[in-house]
Structure 1
Protein backbone atom coordinates (compact mmCIF):
# COMPACT_ATOMS: atom_id res chain seq x y z
CA UNK A 1 0.00 0.00 0.00
CA UNK A 2 2.87 2.39 0.83
CA UNK A 3 4.43 1.75 -2.57
CA UNK A 4 1.23 2.60 -4.44
CA UNK A 5 0.30 5.59 -2.26
CA UNK A 6 3.79 7.16 -2.31
CA UNK A 7 4.34 6.72 -6.04
CA UNK A 8 0.87 7.62 -7.27
CA UNK A 9 0.73 10.75 -5.14
CA UNK A 10 3.91 12.01 -6.81
CA UNK A 11 2.89 10.83 -10.28
CA UNK A 12 -0.56 12.47 -10.36
CA UNK A 13 0.78 15.84 -11.66
CA UNK A 14 2.46 14.07 -14.59
CA UNK A 15 -0.75 12.16 -15.35
CA UNK A 16 -2.76 15.39 -15.34
CA UNK A 17 -0.26 16.91 -17.78
CA UNK A 18 -0.69 13.90 -20.05
CA UNK A 19 -4.44 14.40 -20.06
CA UNK A 20 -3.81 18.05 -20.95
CA UNK A 21 -5.14 19.76 -17.84
CA UNK A 22 -1.93 21.63 -16.88
CA UNK A 23 1.33 22.53 -18.63
CA UNK A 24 4.58 20.69 -18.01
CA UNK A 25 6.92 21.98 -15.32
CA UNK A 26 10.49 20.76 -14.58
CA UNK A 27 9.55 19.76 -11.05
CA UNK A 28 7.04 17.23 -12.38
CA UNK A 29 9.84 15.09 -13.83
CA UNK A 30 11.64 15.25 -10.49
CA UNK A 31 8.53 14.04 -8.67
CA UNK A 32 8.26 11.11 -11.04
CA UNK A 33 11.86 10.04 -10.37
CA UNK A 34 11.35 10.30 -6.59
CA UNK A 35 8.10 8.33 -6.80
CA UNK A 36 9.88 5.47 -8.54
CA UNK A 37 11.95 4.83 -5.40
CA UNK A 38 8.85 3.69 -3.47
CA UNK A 39 9.31 -0.10 -3.94
CA UNK A 40 12.92 -0.06 -2.72
CA UNK A 41 12.12 2.28 0.18
CA UNK A 42 9.22 0.04 1.19
CA UNK A 43 11.41 -3.07 0.88
CA UNK A 44 14.07 -1.74 3.23
CA UNK A 45 11.54 -0.32 5.71
CA UNK A 46 9.65 -3.61 5.95
CA UNK A 47 12.87 -5.64 6.17
CA UNK A 48 14.00 -3.38 9.03
CA UNK A 49 10.63 -3.61 10.80
CA UNK A 50 10.64 -7.42 10.58
CA UNK A 51 14.29 -8.26 11.23
CA UNK A 52 15.93 -5.03 12.36
CA UNK A 53 19.19 -3.72 10.93
CA UNK A 54 20.34 -7.27 10.14
CA UNK A 55 17.38 -7.79 7.80
CA UNK A 56 17.97 -4.46 6.05
CA UNK A 57 21.68 -5.21 5.68
CA UNK A 58 21.03 -8.69 4.26
CA UNK A 59 18.73 -7.14 1.66
CA UNK A 60 21.35 -4.51 0.81
CA UNK A 61 24.09 -7.16 0.53
CA UNK A 62 22.15 -9.07 -2.12
CA UNK A 63 22.45 -6.00 -4.32
CA UNK A 64 26.18 -6.63 -4.72
CA UNK A 65 26.64 -10.34 -5.34
CA UNK A 66 25.38 -13.11 -7.59
CA UNK A 67 25.97 -16.78 -8.30
CA UNK A 68 26.30 -18.45 -11.73
CA UNK A 69 27.81 -16.01 -14.24
CA UNK A 70 25.81 -17.53 -17.10
CA UNK A 71 22.59 -16.05 -15.71
CA UNK A 72 24.14 -12.59 -15.59
CA UNK A 73 24.86 -12.95 -19.31
CA UNK A 74 21.25 -14.02 -19.89
CA UNK A 75 20.05 -10.99 -17.93
CA UNK A 76 22.06 -8.70 -20.21
CA UNK A 77 21.35 -10.15 -23.67
CA UNK A 78 18.00 -11.98 -23.56
CA UNK A 79 15.61 -9.04 -24.02
CA UNK A 80 17.74 -7.16 -26.60
CA UNK A 81 17.86 -10.34 -28.71
CA UNK A 82 14.09 -10.85 -28.47
CA UNK A 83 13.44 -7.19 -29.33
CA UNK A 84 15.76 -7.33 -32.35
CA UNK A 85 14.16 -10.57 -33.60
CA UNK A 86 10.68 -9.09 -33.13
CA UNK A 87 11.66 -5.92 -34.97
CA UNK A 88 13.19 -7.92 -37.82
CA UNK A 89 10.04 -10.01 -38.25
CA UNK A 90 7.90 -6.87 -38.12
CA UNK A 91 10.00 -5.19 -40.82
CA UNK A 92 9.65 -8.24 -43.07
CA UNK A 93 5.93 -8.84 -42.58
CA UNK A 94 4.90 -5.17 -42.67
CA UNK A 95 7.31 -4.02 -45.36
CA UNK A 96 8.63 -1.18 -43.19
CA UNK A 97 11.93 0.58 -43.90
CA UNK A 98 14.09 0.61 -40.77
CA UNK A 99 15.25 4.20 -41.33
CA UNK A 100 11.63 5.39 -41.10
CA UNK A 101 11.15 4.22 -37.50
CA UNK A 102 14.62 4.45 -35.91
CA UNK A 103 15.49 7.53 -33.88
CA UNK A 104 19.22 7.78 -34.65
CA UNK A 105 19.74 10.62 -32.16
CA UNK A 106 19.13 8.21 -29.29
CA UNK A 107 22.26 6.22 -30.14
CA UNK A 108 24.47 9.26 -29.55
CA UNK A 109 23.68 9.08 -25.83
CA UNK A 110 23.40 5.29 -25.58
CA UNK A 111 26.14 4.71 -22.96
CA UNK A 112 25.14 7.63 -20.69
CA UNK A 113 21.54 6.47 -20.97
CA UNK A 114 22.42 2.99 -19.64
CA UNK A 115 23.82 4.53 -16.45
CA UNK A 116 20.86 6.90 -16.19
CA UNK A 117 18.40 4.00 -16.44
CA UNK A 118 20.38 1.93 -13.93
CA UNK A 119 20.36 4.61 -11.23
CA UNK A 120 17.18 6.64 -11.77
CA UNK A 121 15.29 4.86 -14.54
CA UNK A 122 13.59 2.19 -12.45
CA UNK A 123 15.90 -0.81 -11.81
CA UNK A 124 17.76 0.41 -8.71
CA UNK A 125 14.62 2.17 -7.48
CA UNK A 126 12.39 -0.89 -7.72
CA UNK A 127 14.19 -4.22 -7.50
CA UNK A 128 15.06 -4.23 -3.78
CA UNK A 129 11.31 -4.01 -3.26
CA UNK A 130 9.70 -6.17 -5.95
CA UNK A 131 12.25 -8.98 -6.02
CA UNK A 132 14.42 -8.48 -2.93
CA UNK A 133 11.53 -8.19 -0.47
CA UNK A 134 8.13 -9.01 -2.00
CA UNK A 135 9.13 -12.05 -4.08
CA UNK A 136 11.04 -13.60 -1.18
CA UNK A 137 8.04 -13.33 1.15
CA UNK A 138 5.63 -14.67 -1.45
CA UNK A 139 7.85 -17.65 -2.24
CA UNK A 140 7.81 -18.62 1.44
CA UNK A 141 4.03 -19.18 1.04
CA UNK A 142 3.48 -20.04 -2.63
CA UNK A 143 5.43 -21.69 -5.42
CA UNK A 144 7.70 -19.65 -7.67
CA UNK A 145 5.23 -19.45 -10.57
CA UNK A 146 2.33 -18.20 -8.44
CA UNK A 147 4.61 -15.73 -6.64
CA UNK A 148 5.83 -14.40 -9.99
CA UNK A 149 2.28 -13.82 -11.20
CA UNK A 150 1.29 -12.01 -7.99
CA UNK A 151 4.32 -9.71 -8.24
CA UNK A 152 3.59 -9.23 -11.95
CA UNK A 153 0.01 -8.09 -11.31
CA UNK A 154 1.06 -5.65 -8.57
CA UNK A 155 4.00 -4.41 -10.61
CA UNK A 156 1.92 -3.72 -13.73
CA UNK A 157 -0.90 -1.99 -11.80
CA UNK A 158 1.67 0.17 -10.00
CA UNK A 159 2.72 1.55 -13.42
CA UNK A 160 -0.84 2.59 -14.31
CA UNK A 161 -0.34 6.40 -13.94
CA UNK A 162 2.68 6.18 -16.27
CA UNK A 163 0.36 5.47 -19.20
CA UNK A 164 -0.81 9.08 -18.96
CA UNK A 165 2.67 10.61 -18.57
CA UNK A 166 4.31 11.70 -21.87
CA UNK A 167 7.84 10.41 -22.42
CA UNK A 168 7.45 7.17 -20.48
CA UNK A 169 7.77 3.73 -22.06
CA UNK A 170 4.22 2.94 -20.93
CA UNK A 171 2.81 6.03 -22.69
CA UNK A 172 3.66 4.39 -26.03
CA UNK A 173 1.97 1.07 -25.19
CA UNK A 174 -1.51 -0.29 -24.58
CA UNK A 175 -2.13 -1.41 -21.01
CA UNK A 176 -3.19 -4.90 -22.12
CA UNK A 177 0.06 -5.46 -24.03
CA UNK A 178 2.09 -4.08 -21.14
CA UNK A 179 0.20 -6.18 -18.56
CA UNK A 180 0.72 -9.39 -20.55
CA UNK A 181 4.43 -8.78 -21.11
CA UNK A 182 4.99 -7.83 -17.44
CA UNK A 183 3.41 -11.09 -16.24
CA UNK A 184 5.70 -13.08 -18.53
CA UNK A 185 8.77 -11.01 -17.68
CA UNK A 186 8.00 -11.37 -13.97
CA UNK A 187 8.39 -15.14 -14.39
CA UNK A 188 11.72 -14.58 -16.15
CA UNK A 189 12.81 -12.33 -13.29
CA UNK A 190 12.04 -15.07 -10.75
CA UNK A 191 13.84 -17.68 -12.84
CA UNK A 192 17.00 -15.55 -13.05
CA UNK A 193 16.69 -14.36 -9.44
CA UNK A 194 16.29 -17.84 -7.96
CA UNK A 195 19.11 -19.31 -10.04
CA UNK A 196 21.59 -16.62 -8.94
CA UNK A 197 21.16 -17.11 -5.19
CA UNK A 198 18.40 -14.46 -4.93
CA UNK A 199 20.66 -11.78 -6.37
CA UNK A 200 19.04 -8.34 -6.47
CA UNK A 201 22.01 -7.13 -8.52
CA UNK A 202 21.16 -9.46 -11.40
CA UNK A 203 17.51 -8.37 -11.18
CA UNK A 204 18.64 -4.73 -11.44
CA UNK A 205 20.82 -5.53 -14.47
CA UNK A 206 17.95 -7.45 -16.12
CA UNK A 207 15.57 -4.54 -15.48
CA UNK A 208 18.13 -2.13 -16.97
CA UNK A 209 18.50 -4.30 -20.06
CA UNK A 210 14.71 -4.36 -20.51
CA UNK A 211 14.28 -0.59 -20.24
CA UNK A 212 17.24 0.21 -22.49
CA UNK A 213 16.00 -2.27 -25.10
CA UNK A 214 12.51 -0.77 -25.13
CA UNK A 215 14.00 2.71 -25.55
CA UNK A 216 16.49 1.93 -28.32
CA UNK A 217 14.79 -0.86 -30.32
CA UNK A 218 11.55 0.57 -31.78
CA UNK A 219 9.27 -2.47 -31.75
CA UNK A 220 6.45 -0.24 -30.47
CA UNK A 221 6.69 1.78 -33.70
CA UNK A 222 5.41 -1.28 -35.56
CA UNK A 223 2.08 -3.07 -35.36
CA UNK A 224 3.27 -6.68 -35.23
CA UNK A 225 6.53 -6.14 -33.31
CA UNK A 226 4.93 -6.23 -29.83
CA UNK A 227 2.90 -9.29 -30.87
CA UNK A 228 6.01 -11.21 -31.98
CA UNK A 229 7.80 -10.10 -28.82
CA UNK A 230 5.01 -11.29 -26.51
CA UNK A 231 4.77 -14.62 -28.34
CA UNK A 232 8.53 -15.18 -27.95
CA UNK A 233 8.34 -14.33 -24.25
CA UNK A 234 5.48 -16.81 -23.87
CA UNK A 235 7.40 -19.61 -25.61
CA UNK A 236 10.49 -19.04 -23.43
CA UNK A 237 8.39 -18.99 -20.25
CA UNK A 238 6.65 -22.24 -21.21
CA UNK A 239 10.02 -23.90 -21.88
CA UNK A 240 11.40 -22.67 -18.54
CA UNK A 241 8.39 -24.01 -16.63
CA UNK A 242 8.65 -27.33 -18.48
CA UNK A 243 12.38 -27.84 -17.85
CA UNK A 244 12.75 -26.13 -14.46
CA UNK A 245 9.36 -26.80 -12.86
CA UNK A 246 6.89 -24.29 -11.44
CA UNK A 247 7.75 -24.94 -7.79
CA UNK A 248 11.10 -23.13 -7.62
CA UNK A 249 11.99 -22.48 -11.29
CA UNK A 250 15.35 -24.03 -10.45
CA UNK A 251 16.64 -27.03 -12.34
CA UNK A 252 17.76 -29.59 -9.80
CA UNK A 253 20.11 -32.38 -10.73
CA UNK A 254 18.65 -35.83 -10.43
CA UNK A 255 20.61 -38.09 -8.11
CA UNK A 256 22.60 -40.72 -9.94
CA UNK A 257 21.39 -44.25 -9.53
CA UNK A 258 23.82 -46.41 -7.64
CA UNK A 259 24.91 -49.48 -9.49
CA UNK A 260 24.12 -52.65 -7.64
CA UNK A 261 27.16 -54.75 -6.96
CA UNK A 262 26.85 -58.32 -8.07
CA UNK A 263 27.24 -60.78 -5.31
CA UNK A 264 29.93 -63.36 -5.90
CA UNK A 265 28.86 -66.77 -4.67
Structure 2
Protein backbone atom coordinates (compact mmCIF):
# COMPACT_ATOMS: atom_id res chain seq x y z
CA UNK A 1 0.00 0.00 0.00
CA UNK A 2 2.81 2.44 0.89
CA UNK A 3 4.55 1.76 -2.42
CA UNK A 4 1.28 2.33 -4.27
CA UNK A 5 0.65 5.63 -2.51
CA UNK A 6 4.20 6.81 -3.24
CA UNK A 7 3.70 5.94 -6.91
CA UNK A 8 0.40 7.82 -7.04
CA UNK A 9 1.98 10.81 -5.31
CA UNK A 10 4.79 10.97 -7.84
CA UNK A 11 2.38 10.75 -10.77
CA UNK A 12 0.24 13.52 -9.24
CA UNK A 13 3.28 15.73 -8.68
CA UNK A 14 4.39 15.20 -12.27
CA UNK A 15 0.93 16.12 -13.53
CA UNK A 16 0.93 19.30 -11.46
CA UNK A 17 4.35 20.28 -12.78
CA UNK A 18 3.28 19.54 -16.35
CA UNK A 19 0.12 21.60 -15.93
CA UNK A 20 2.09 24.49 -14.47
CA UNK A 21 4.47 24.50 -17.44
CA UNK A 22 1.69 24.24 -20.03
CA UNK A 23 -0.17 27.24 -18.62
CA UNK A 24 3.03 29.26 -18.22
CA UNK A 25 4.25 28.72 -21.78
CA UNK A 26 0.78 29.01 -23.34
CA UNK A 27 0.27 32.49 -21.90
CA UNK A 28 3.74 33.92 -22.48
CA UNK A 29 4.49 32.39 -25.85
CA UNK A 30 0.94 33.07 -26.99
CA UNK A 31 1.13 36.79 -26.15
CA UNK A 32 4.71 37.40 -27.30
CA UNK A 33 4.35 35.09 -30.31
CA UNK A 34 1.36 37.08 -31.51
CA UNK A 35 3.48 40.23 -31.62
CA UNK A 36 6.31 38.37 -33.38
CA UNK A 37 4.20 36.75 -36.11
CA UNK A 38 1.52 39.42 -36.54
CA UNK A 39 3.22 42.66 -35.42
CA UNK A 40 1.18 45.05 -37.55
CA UNK A 41 -2.19 43.57 -36.62
CA UNK A 42 -1.35 43.36 -32.90
CA UNK A 43 0.09 46.88 -32.82
CA UNK A 44 -2.91 48.32 -34.66
CA UNK A 45 -5.37 46.67 -32.29
CA UNK A 46 -3.56 46.73 -28.93
CA UNK A 47 -0.73 49.23 -29.32
CA UNK A 48 3.02 48.81 -29.62
CA UNK A 49 4.51 46.36 -27.13
CA UNK A 50 6.94 47.69 -24.53
CA UNK A 51 8.09 46.93 -21.02
CA UNK A 52 5.15 48.93 -19.67
CA UNK A 53 2.45 47.42 -21.92
CA UNK A 54 -0.30 45.42 -20.11
CA UNK A 55 0.40 42.44 -22.37
CA UNK A 56 4.05 42.48 -21.33
CA UNK A 57 2.93 42.31 -17.70
CA UNK A 58 0.57 39.45 -18.59
CA UNK A 59 3.38 37.54 -20.30
CA UNK A 60 5.68 38.15 -17.33
CA UNK A 61 3.05 37.11 -14.81
CA UNK A 62 2.35 33.80 -16.58
CA UNK A 63 4.33 31.67 -14.07
CA UNK A 64 2.39 33.30 -11.21
CA UNK A 65 -0.95 32.78 -12.96
CA UNK A 66 -0.03 29.14 -13.53
CA UNK A 67 1.11 28.76 -9.92
CA UNK A 68 -2.10 30.11 -8.43
CA UNK A 69 -4.10 27.91 -10.81
CA UNK A 70 -2.25 24.84 -9.54
CA UNK A 71 -2.53 25.87 -5.87
CA UNK A 72 -6.24 26.64 -6.22
CA UNK A 73 -6.78 23.25 -7.83
CA UNK A 74 -5.02 21.25 -5.11
CA UNK A 75 -5.90 23.36 -2.06
CA UNK A 76 -8.79 25.68 -2.81
CA UNK A 77 -8.92 29.15 -1.30
CA UNK A 78 -7.49 27.91 2.01
CA UNK A 79 -4.59 26.45 0.09
CA UNK A 80 -3.98 29.80 -1.63
CA UNK A 81 -3.92 31.54 1.76
CA UNK A 82 -1.44 28.99 3.12
CA UNK A 83 0.65 29.31 -0.05
CA UNK A 84 0.79 33.10 0.40
CA UNK A 85 1.96 32.62 3.99
CA UNK A 86 5.31 31.66 2.49
CA UNK A 87 5.77 35.38 1.80
CA UNK A 88 6.22 35.80 5.55
CA UNK A 89 9.22 33.45 5.71
CA UNK A 90 12.10 35.89 5.97
CA UNK A 91 14.62 34.14 8.22
CA UNK A 92 17.84 33.42 6.36
CA UNK A 93 21.47 33.06 7.53
CA UNK A 94 23.27 36.41 7.44
CA UNK A 95 25.76 35.40 4.69
CA UNK A 96 22.87 34.92 2.27
CA UNK A 97 21.53 38.38 3.04
CA UNK A 98 25.01 39.68 2.31
CA UNK A 99 24.99 37.81 -0.98
CA UNK A 100 21.70 39.38 -2.06
CA UNK A 101 22.44 42.92 -0.87
CA UNK A 102 26.18 43.18 -1.58
CA UNK A 103 27.55 40.44 -3.85
CA UNK A 104 24.94 40.80 -6.61
CA UNK A 105 25.55 44.57 -7.05
CA UNK A 106 29.31 43.98 -7.00
CA UNK A 107 28.97 41.43 -9.80
CA UNK A 108 27.18 43.98 -11.98
CA UNK A 109 29.71 46.67 -11.19
CA UNK A 110 32.65 44.38 -11.95
CA UNK A 111 31.09 43.22 -15.21
CA UNK A 112 30.41 46.80 -16.25
CA UNK A 113 33.98 47.86 -15.49
CA UNK A 114 35.32 44.97 -17.59
CA UNK A 115 33.34 46.21 -20.59
CA UNK A 116 34.42 49.80 -19.94
CA UNK A 117 31.16 50.94 -18.41
CA UNK A 118 30.23 52.86 -15.24
CA UNK A 119 29.84 51.56 -11.68
CA UNK A 120 26.18 52.56 -11.66
CA UNK A 121 23.67 53.01 -14.44
CA UNK A 122 23.66 56.62 -15.71
CA UNK A 123 20.82 58.73 -14.36
CA UNK A 124 18.36 60.23 -16.85
CA UNK A 125 18.16 64.03 -17.29
CA UNK A 126 15.15 64.07 -14.96
CA UNK A 127 17.33 62.85 -12.10
CA UNK A 128 16.97 59.98 -9.63
CA UNK A 129 13.18 60.11 -9.29
CA UNK A 130 12.28 58.17 -12.46
CA UNK A 131 14.86 55.50 -11.60
CA UNK A 132 13.36 55.00 -8.14
CA UNK A 133 9.89 54.79 -9.72
CA UNK A 134 11.19 52.23 -12.23
CA UNK A 135 12.79 50.23 -9.43
CA UNK A 136 9.43 49.86 -7.69
CA UNK A 137 7.69 49.08 -10.98
CA UNK A 138 10.21 46.27 -11.45
CA UNK A 139 8.92 44.78 -8.20
CA UNK A 140 5.71 44.04 -10.10
CA UNK A 141 7.50 42.31 -12.98
CA UNK A 142 10.26 39.72 -12.52
CA UNK A 143 9.74 39.04 -8.79
CA UNK A 144 6.12 38.02 -9.47
CA UNK A 145 7.48 35.10 -11.54
CA UNK A 146 8.79 33.56 -8.33
CA UNK A 147 5.29 32.49 -7.30
CA UNK A 148 5.75 29.96 -10.08
CA UNK A 149 9.44 29.08 -10.37
CA UNK A 150 10.23 28.80 -6.68
CA UNK A 151 6.67 28.66 -5.38
CA UNK A 152 5.54 25.59 -7.32
CA UNK A 153 8.21 24.23 -9.67
CA UNK A 154 11.10 24.09 -7.17
CA UNK A 155 9.35 22.09 -4.42
CA UNK A 156 7.70 19.76 -6.93
CA UNK A 157 11.02 19.02 -8.66
CA UNK A 158 12.79 18.50 -5.33
CA UNK A 159 10.50 15.53 -4.72
CA UNK A 160 12.37 13.72 -7.49
CA UNK A 161 15.88 15.19 -7.76
CA UNK A 162 18.47 16.89 -5.55
CA UNK A 163 18.24 20.69 -5.21
CA UNK A 164 21.17 21.33 -7.55
CA UNK A 165 19.49 19.47 -10.39
CA UNK A 166 16.11 21.00 -9.60
CA UNK A 167 17.68 24.46 -9.87
CA UNK A 168 19.48 23.58 -13.10
CA UNK A 169 16.28 22.23 -14.66
CA UNK A 170 14.26 25.26 -13.64
CA UNK A 171 16.99 27.55 -14.95
CA UNK A 172 16.94 25.75 -18.31
CA UNK A 173 13.16 26.06 -18.58
CA UNK A 174 13.33 29.65 -17.35
CA UNK A 175 15.81 30.53 -20.11
CA UNK A 176 13.80 28.82 -22.85
CA UNK A 177 10.63 30.53 -21.60
CA UNK A 178 12.32 33.92 -22.24
CA UNK A 179 13.38 33.02 -25.79
CA UNK A 180 10.54 34.72 -27.75
CA UNK A 181 11.30 38.06 -26.07
CA UNK A 182 14.67 38.10 -27.87
CA UNK A 183 12.78 38.38 -31.18
CA UNK A 184 10.51 41.15 -29.93
CA UNK A 185 11.33 44.77 -30.73
CA UNK A 186 10.65 47.35 -28.06
CA UNK A 187 11.92 45.40 -25.04
CA UNK A 188 15.39 45.19 -23.48
CA UNK A 189 15.89 41.53 -24.47
CA UNK A 190 16.12 42.52 -28.14
CA UNK A 191 19.47 44.18 -27.39
CA UNK A 192 21.02 41.16 -25.65
CA UNK A 193 22.63 37.93 -26.78
CA UNK A 194 20.58 34.87 -25.85
CA UNK A 195 23.41 32.44 -25.00
CA UNK A 196 24.92 34.31 -22.02
CA UNK A 197 21.41 35.15 -20.84
CA UNK A 198 20.42 31.48 -21.04
CA UNK A 199 23.53 30.39 -19.14
CA UNK A 200 22.84 33.14 -16.64
CA UNK A 201 19.32 31.84 -16.02
CA UNK A 202 20.68 28.40 -15.16
CA UNK A 203 23.37 29.86 -12.90
CA UNK A 204 20.93 32.16 -11.10
CA UNK A 205 18.41 29.36 -10.57
CA UNK A 206 21.17 27.25 -9.01
CA UNK A 207 22.33 30.17 -6.84
CA UNK A 208 18.87 30.90 -5.42
CA UNK A 209 18.24 27.22 -4.63
CA UNK A 210 20.24 26.97 -1.36
CA UNK A 211 18.66 30.26 -0.23
CA UNK A 212 15.21 28.87 -0.97
CA UNK A 213 15.85 25.74 1.07
CA UNK A 214 17.67 27.56 3.88
CA UNK A 215 14.60 29.80 4.28
CA UNK A 216 12.31 26.73 4.37
CA UNK A 217 10.56 27.55 1.12
CA UNK A 218 10.26 31.32 1.41
CA UNK A 219 8.71 33.20 -1.48
CA UNK A 220 9.98 36.53 -0.16
CA UNK A 221 13.68 35.65 -0.44
CA UNK A 222 13.62 34.59 -4.13
CA UNK A 223 11.54 37.68 -4.91
CA UNK A 224 14.09 39.98 -3.30
CA UNK A 225 16.88 38.10 -5.08
CA UNK A 226 15.08 38.53 -8.41
CA UNK A 227 14.44 42.21 -7.69
CA UNK A 228 18.15 42.79 -7.20
CA UNK A 229 18.84 41.18 -10.57
CA UNK A 230 16.70 43.77 -12.39
CA UNK A 231 17.43 46.78 -10.17
CA UNK A 232 17.75 49.71 -12.63
CA UNK A 233 20.52 51.29 -10.54
CA UNK A 234 22.93 48.50 -11.52
CA UNK A 235 24.73 48.96 -14.85
CA UNK A 236 24.25 46.78 -17.90
CA UNK A 237 27.09 44.28 -17.52
CA UNK A 238 26.03 41.75 -20.17
CA UNK A 239 27.64 39.35 -20.89
CA UNK A 240 30.42 39.68 -18.31
CA UNK A 241 28.11 39.51 -15.32
CA UNK A 242 27.08 36.02 -16.45
CA UNK A 243 30.64 34.73 -16.63
CA UNK A 244 31.45 36.22 -13.22
CA UNK A 245 28.33 34.57 -11.80
CA UNK A 246 29.48 31.21 -13.16
CA UNK A 247 32.57 31.49 -10.95
CA UNK A 248 30.51 32.71 -8.00
CA UNK A 249 28.10 29.80 -8.45
CA UNK A 250 30.97 27.30 -8.48
CA UNK A 251 32.08 28.62 -5.08
CA UNK A 252 28.52 28.58 -3.69
CA UNK A 253 27.88 25.03 -4.89
CA UNK A 254 31.16 23.82 -3.39
CA UNK A 255 30.41 25.57 -0.10
CA UNK A 256 26.95 23.96 0.06
CA UNK A 257 27.98 20.62 -1.42
CA UNK A 258 26.73 18.65 1.60
CA UNK A 259 23.13 19.84 1.15
CA UNK A 260 22.71 20.83 -2.47
CA UNK A 261 23.34 17.34 -3.87
CA UNK A 262 20.96 15.50 -1.56
CA UNK A 263 17.19 15.63 -1.24
CA UNK A 264 17.42 15.33 2.55
CA UNK A 265 16.07 18.56 4.04
CA UNK A 266 14.97 19.99 0.70
CA UNK A 267 11.62 21.81 0.65
CA UNK A 268 8.99 19.72 -1.16
CA UNK A 269 5.73 21.31 0.00
CA UNK A 270 3.88 23.73 -2.22
CA UNK A 271 1.26 24.44 0.44
CA UNK A 272 2.79 24.61 3.95
CA UNK A 273 1.43 22.13 6.42
CA UNK A 274 -0.15 19.93 3.80
CA UNK A 275 2.26 17.04 3.40
CA UNK A 276 3.75 16.99 -0.10
CA UNK A 277 0.84 18.87 -1.67
Shared topology, TM-score over 0.5? Answer: yes
The answer to whether 1:155 aligns with 2:174 is yes
Structure 1 residue 74, shift from structure 2 partner = 2.5
TM-score computed with the length of structure 2 as normaliser? 0.75
Report the 3-state secondary structure (helix = DSSP H, G, I; strand = E; otherwise coil) of the residue aligned with 1:159.
helix
Q: TM-score, normalised by structure 1?
A: 0.78
26-35 or 173-182: bigger deviation = 26-35
Structure 1's consecutive aligned runs of 4 or more residues displaced over 4 angstroms after TM superposition are 20-25
Of 12, 16, 23, 2:33 maps to: 12
Unaligned runs of 5+ in 2: 1-21, 265-277
Of residues 149, 153, 169, the one that matches 1:130 is 149
Aligned residue for 1:44? 68
1:183 is matched with 202
TM-aligned CA distance change 1:47 to 1:22, over 3 Å: closer
Q: Distance in 1 between matches of 2:230 and 2:261?
A: 24
User: For 1:195 and 1:249, how far apart are their aligned partners in 2?
Assistant: 14
The superposition leaves residues 92-117 of structure 1 with CA deviations (integer Å, 9 ceiling, x where unpaired) of: xxxx7x59x96431863221111100
Number of equivalent positions: 235
RMSD, aligned α-carbons: 2.8
1:177-209 Cα distance to aligned partner (Å, 9 max, x none): 111111001111112211222111111111111
**Unmatched 5+ residue regions in structure 1?**
221-225, 253-265
- Give the equivalent residue in structure 1 for 2:15: none
Question: What is the deviation of 1:32?
Answer: 1.5
Cα distance change, pair 22–137 in 1 and its aligned pair in 2 (3 A): closer
Among residues 52, 74, 83, which one is paired with 2:99 in the alignment?
74
Larger radius of gyration: 1
Alignment-derived partner of residue 218 in structure 1: 236
Aligned mates of 2:135, 2:91 — CA distance in 1: 23
